[in-house]
Amino acid sequence: MKTSKKILIIEDEKPLARALELKLSHAGFKSEVVFNGEDGIRLLNKESFALILLDLIMPKMDGFTLLAMLKVKKIKTPVLVLSNLSQREDEKRAKEFGAKEFFIKSNTPIATIVLRVTELLK
């Protein structure tokens, strides 16, 4: 199936990271989970991913910084931001930093996210 497509989940809230991992695996995707931006960058330096699911508010390195670093490092992996920041400015800022899409976790069923991932990685 789509096992070759690996997804990087960068999310500090462990139950949410776990839920995403589970749901994506049910949909046939392999994924890797890290709990902060710093670990994310470290991993991205070594490996390439088909897609990144990125939280914004995280310890050590937040999502905005990570997006900025991706730009600097010219890493073109598409990023879907999954955040509970819900103000329009947050979405705007994330997109300015290069995020492809922005989902507010509490307002979005996990099925919708998986569906979107599937569409993008078709």
Q: Which of 64, 99, 105, 117 binds another protein (CB under 8 A)?
A: 105
Instruction: List Cβ neighbours of 55 (8 Å cut-off, separation of 6 or more).
Output: 10, 11, 12, 13, 16, 63, 81, 82, 83
Smallest gap from Cβ 92 to another protein, in A, equals 9
What distance in Å separates the CA atoms of residue 117 and residue 52, rounded to the nearest whole number?
10
In the bound complex, what is the minimum distance in angstroms from residue 113's beta carbon to another protein?
Answer: 9
Chosen residue from 3, 72, 89, 119 binding another protein by CB under 8 A = 89
Binding window for another protein (CB under 8 A); candidates: 35-43, 45-53, 81-89, 94-102: 81-89
Which parts of 13-72 interact with another protein (CB under 8 A)?
A: 13, 15-16, 19, 22-23, 26, 57
- Strand partners for 10: 34, 54
For residue 42, give both structure tokens: 């470290």
User: Tokens 């508010």 appear where?
Assistant: 57
**Cα first-last separation, the chain:** 11
Per CB under 8 A, residues contacting another protein are: 13, 15-16, 19, 22-23, 26, 57, 83-90, 104-107, 109-111
